[in-house]
Structure 1
Amino acid sequence: MQAADVKAASPTTITSEQIDRVVESAMKTFNVPGISVAVIKDDKLIHAKGYGVRDIKSKLPMETSTLVGIASNSKAFTAAALAILVDEKKLSWNDKVNNIIPEFKLYNPYVTEEFTVLDLMTHRSGMGLGAGDLMFFPDGSDFTIKDVIHNLRYLKQTSSFRSQFDYDNNLYIIAGEVIKRVSGLSWEEYIEQKIMQPLQMNASAASITRLKNAGNKVEPHVAVNGQLQVVPFRPNEVINAAGGIYSNIDDMSKWVRMQLNKGSYGDKRLFSEQAQHEMWSPHTIIQMGPNGGPYNTHFNSYGIGWGINDVKGYKQVSHTGGLLGMVTQVTLIPELKLGIVVLTNQEQGAAFSAITNTIKDSYFGMPVVDRVKEFADRQAKRNGEADKMVAEIWKAIDEQTKANGKVKLNTAPYLGTYKDNWFGEVSISVGKNGQMQFASKRSPALIGDLSFYKGSTFVVRWHDRTFNADAFVNFQLDTDGNASAISMKAISPLTDFSFDFHDLDLKRVEKQ
């Protein structure tokens, strides 16, 4: 492990040694190779340390300077960029998006006409959770921002406009384009010049391709059958405004100090206190259960680029971020002048939650609770239920295969090219192994073998086993018994929502 130099601060209710112990316990329990943690209190960095390794191959140490993809914690940077433009009177939160981007169009014409910059940022569009994310996830190397703008018109609303919270990424991509068209700078240039440079976030960059020192960065890791694997690097510039920033805890601690100082850092002011009030105010209510949990939470909501709720009577401003093989969390308790940053190189969100909650507990004066065990038990229950469900599906497939014996499946009714208006073409063909195969034209990583399940439904098993996203592929048959369309759905409830197969409406356009 490696620690940064930190300034002397007033005593805290949790020691660095106690933080060390909970981090090491979380790493071991959740199989995380590397974690870095920063704690900011009363405008001072009181704990900053890297633990473990950047990747399991090189085994180079995780340092406070090691760069990590902060994923959706980038959204708060996009929010801050817009806030600066609002302060400068170049933009209003209530400006209509189609006045800035004339080609912007959603499925519902009324929603298109009424849609504001604020709506881009608050997850209340009416589109479903993660709608359209397959344009950039897991690779989406063929899609451009122009494509995203055009394709939004094909994504149907699943709820009425401004009626409920459904997290999205694509509208933040549009927000990045708003920044470009209003400021004259690309989103990447604006973030680096107007936010990172004033904060002296010198190692950070708005995307991985813009890093000055890419040698000291983590590799993402995913557990496959209990064994960690390094995830192949798939650069994607389209997603930057929603999740592209790379940073480290040295730099993120400066970002947090600025946030806790209401937009000021040293003698610089990035945005006004009014702008921060707007970003930290609830704009979309998030449904929560009747149990307030360990922190007696009464409400949950989304502001602008931040989640807003209450914990033990304090306002909490926070966000998480997740890329394939990396997850991060930033937590602010403004009334306590407390900030916590946890960056990791594995996709176990339980690790950052256990670490953050342990630190919060100490400042809330709560009894000591083993948060690592708490999240491990919760995860084991959730994973056990999902694994049982998936195992039953594959068991049924195996039994079906044995029952059919040597009877060869007639693949002819299914083979051909299918097209979705926003995702493009996929092909159903017979692979070299004699098995039917699904392959996406525009997202090349999505290729896998199809196994017969029942009726006209198959299951695709992706060749890349780091996805945890095997999916039902249901063929709709016409009166002649030939497939005319495909609908899809992930088989596991734990599949990342960005694999939004259920949003696809694939129509057959060519027979093979």
Structure 2
Amino acid sequence: MEDAISKFHVAGAAIAIVKDGKIVHSKGYGVKSINTGEKVNEHTQFAIASNSKAFTAAALAILVEEGKLSWNDKVIDHVPEFKMYNDYVTQNFNIQDLLTHRSGLGLGAGDLMFFPDGSDFKMKDILTVFQYFEPQSAFRTKFDYDNILYVIAGEIIARTSGMTWEQFIQQRIFVPLEMDNSYASLGMIKNTANLALPHDEAKGKLKQLNSFNDMVNGAAGGIYSNVDDISQWMLMHLNKGKYGSDLKKHLFTEESQREMWRIHTVLEVSPSPRYNSHFAGYGLGWGVEDIKGTLCVSHTGGLPGMLSKTTMIPDLNLGVVILTNTAEGGAGLFEAVTQTVLDSYLGLDKLNWVERYSTMLQGMQNQSDDVTNKVWETVKKSSKQKVSTQDYVGVYEDRWFGKVEIFMKDKQLWFKSYRSPKLNGPMYFYKANSFAIKWEYQNMNADAFALFTLDEEGKAQGIKMKGISPGIDFSFDFQDLNFKRIDK
């Protein structure tokens, strides 16, 4: 862990390992904040981001067992307002479809409603937004990871149980498992003394970020927890839903466990002679694969400056969780250290995973930097070119994302979103009818192109967008936008 923190430039991290029903290691490394220098410990709370999805699946399993819903219930039977991109999909979309990333929508569709944080989109917007997207594959045929369908799952939990998703997770999962320092949202943390703060690396130096604001519910990624508490979560799963000192209590049945860990959406297997894997897929809130002839379930999580991974090998009665508070490098750390721990229990020869991931991440970063640097070099060369900025000024609207305005600010063309106020920034001429936008928001690498369509007089009539960097986070789904000019 110490080697990985140094190599991947991570501010702080924590790891816990459970084996044969016991916590065999639970410890913090590095600092919660580079500004305070306070140390991470096993109780330090991190945003676990998409590791929250497994809690949403477990909550639904509890409601299924109580007879309040069925996995195959149609979503519209519980949420009549729900509307997908065509009538057949709307009528047949069931609860498991919300959890399995096989909707036919593209990767991260609609995430721009919540990334960056601080937008004004509400549940009523989310329920009907899907009708405006172009499907990228046939329904239930292809895996494309999404977040906002999990938000719908959270709404079903709320409507079925009579309490918010956050209250349900707190009362029906955290309390019985004695996850006493875990919270279903940032807003529920009253004492933030042991909260890890997110960090990013800029020009070789770490900078501290603000914590990511809560979404309309946390079903896709809202939980804050620590490695000591996640150990209880892993132990319960490894005991097939049972918990407590004598394992007499159960959160859900073994049948529900099998349903969550069954492959619902098939994924391509990465050939690996080292692990001899034959299958991979997505269950309900968990990734599923085989390594060395045994089942492995895992999930990762990511928010600005917060990255995490939970992994279990049930046949070895083994679980590993790693939580980090640094973007980019955190992924290298959680992958490298998890692989090292798993290899030791699988009896494999030593491999320097830290070095391997460090080299790989650096290569990816260099490739991404090359692309973005060339774009900004082109912008610099184009700066002397005369551009009729007034042809682009105006108000434009996208059917799901709402209005944006292109206007002049201090002799500079500027972009601002009405509904997502952090999406604003100067626009620089690039080539032809395209501009590069440098967002004021720089907590994530999300600068984007604006590609204008012009009428016969050269006046802009519409805007399409795409990310500049090949390494842009998929949650900035600029490609799903199609703005039309609405001012006359």
Fold match, TM over 0.5? yes
2:36 aligned residue: 58
The alpha-carbon deviation at position 160 of structure 1 amounts to 0.7
Structure 2 distance, partners of 1:65, 1:462, is 35
Pick aligned residue for 2:174 from 187, 196, 208: 196
The alpha-carbon deviation at position 422 of structure 1 amounts to 1.1
Pick aligned residue for 1:392 from 371, 374, 392: 374
1:7 aligned residue: none
1:275 aligned residue: 256
Structure 1 distance, partners of 2:190, 2:277, is 42
2:302 aligned residue: 322
- Tell me if the contact between 1:136 and 1:236 (Cα under 8 Å) persists in the aligned partners: no
- Is residue 2:459 matched to residue 1:482? yes
Structure 2 distance, partners of 1:32, 1:294, is 28
1:306 aligned residue: 286
The alpha-carbon deviation at position 318 of structure 1 amounts to 0.3
Structure 1 residues 86-140: Cα deviation after superposition (integer angstroms, max 9, x where no partner)? 1111111100000110000011111000000010010000000000001111114
Secondary structure at the residue paired with 1:396?
helix
Aligned residues: 483
- Is residue 2:352 matched to residue 1:370? yes
1:18 aligned residue: none
Structure-to-structure mapping, 1:444-483, within 5 angstroms: 444-483=421-460
Structure 2 distance, partners of 1:240, 1:301, is 24
Structure 2 distance, partners of 1:233, 1:359, is 30
Structure 1 residues 69-100: Cα deviation after superposition (integer angstroms, max 9, x where no partner)? 10000000000000011111111110000011
The alpha-carbon deviation at position 303 of structure 1 amounts to 0.2
The alpha-carbon deviation at position 239 of structure 1 amounts to 4.5
Structure 1 distance, partners of 2:429, 2:217, is 35
Pick aligned residue for 1:437 from 414, 425, 428: 414
Structure 2 distance, partners of 1:457, 1:270, is 54
Structure 2 distance, partners of 1:446, 1:44, is 46
Return closer, same or farther for 1:237/1:469 CA change in 2, 3 Å cut-off: closer
Structure 2 distance, partners of 1:218, 1:110, is 45
Q: Structure 1, unaligned stretches of length 5 or more?
A: 1-22
> Which residue identity lines up with residue 339 of structure 1 in the other structure?
G
- Is residue 2:8 matched to residue 1:30? yes
The alpha-carbon deviation at position 287 of structure 1 amounts to 2.6
Deviating 4+ runs (over 3 angstroms): none
Secondary structure at the residue paired with 2:127?
helix
Q: Structure 2, unaligned stretches of length 5 or more?
A: none
Give the alignment's TM-score, normalised by structure 2: 0.97
- Tell me if the contact between 2:212 and 2:303 (Cα under 8 Å) persists in the aligned partners: no
Give the alignment's TM-score, normalised by structure 1: 0.92
Which has the larger displacement, 390-399 or 486-495?
A: 390-399
Secondary structure at the residue paired with 1:412?
helix
Structure 1 distance, partners of 2:211, 2:18, is 32
Structure 2 distance, partners of 1:234, 1:381, is 28
Structure 1 distance, partners of 2:45, 2:258, is 30
Secondary structure at the residue paired with 2:486?
strand
Secondary structure at the residue paired with 2:321?
strand
> Which residue identity lines up with residue 445 of structure 1 in the other structure?
K
> Which residue identity lines up with residue 82 of structure 2 in the other structure?
F
- Tell me if the contact between 1:203 and 1:212 (Cα under 8 Å) persists in the aligned partners: no
> Which residue identity lines up with residue 228 of structure 1 in the other structure?
L
- Tell me if the contact between 2:166 and 2:217 (Cα under 8 Å) persists in the aligned partners: no
- Tell me if the contact between 1:292 and 1:298 (Cα under 8 Å) persists in the aligned partners: no
Return closer, same or farther for 1:96/1:270 CA change in 2, 3 Å cut-off: same
Secondary structure at the residue paired with 1:242?
coil
- Tell me if the contact between 1:286 and 1:301 (Cα under 8 Å) persists in the aligned partners: yes
> Which residue identity lines up with residue 264 of structure 2 in the other structure?
H
> Which residue identity lines up with residue 89 of structure 2 in the other structure?
V
Structure 2 distance, partners of 1:124, 1:86, is 21
Structure 2 distance, partners of 1:471, 1:358, is 37
Structure 2 distance, partners of 1:422, 1:462, is 21
1:496 aligned residue: 473
Secondary structure at the residue paired with 1:126?
coil
Structure 2 distance, partners of 1:509, 1:311, is 55
Structure 1 distance, partners of 2:310, 2:89, is 32
Structure 1 distance, partners of 2:351, 2:312, is 21
- Is residue 2:319 matched to residue 1:342? no
The alpha-carbon deviation at position 293 of structure 1 amounts to 5.9
> Which residue identity lines up with residue 304 of structure 1 in the other structure?
L
1:507 aligned residue: 484
> Which residue identity lines up with residue 241 of structure 2 in the other structure?
G
- Tell me if the contact between 1:130 and 1:168 (Cα under 8 Å) persists in the aligned partners: yes
> Which residue identity lines up with residue 431 of structure 2 in the other structure?
K
The alpha-carbon deviation at position 233 of structure 1 amounts to 3.1
Secondary structure at the residue paired with 2:441?
coil
Structure 1 distance, partners of 2:434, 2:117, is 26
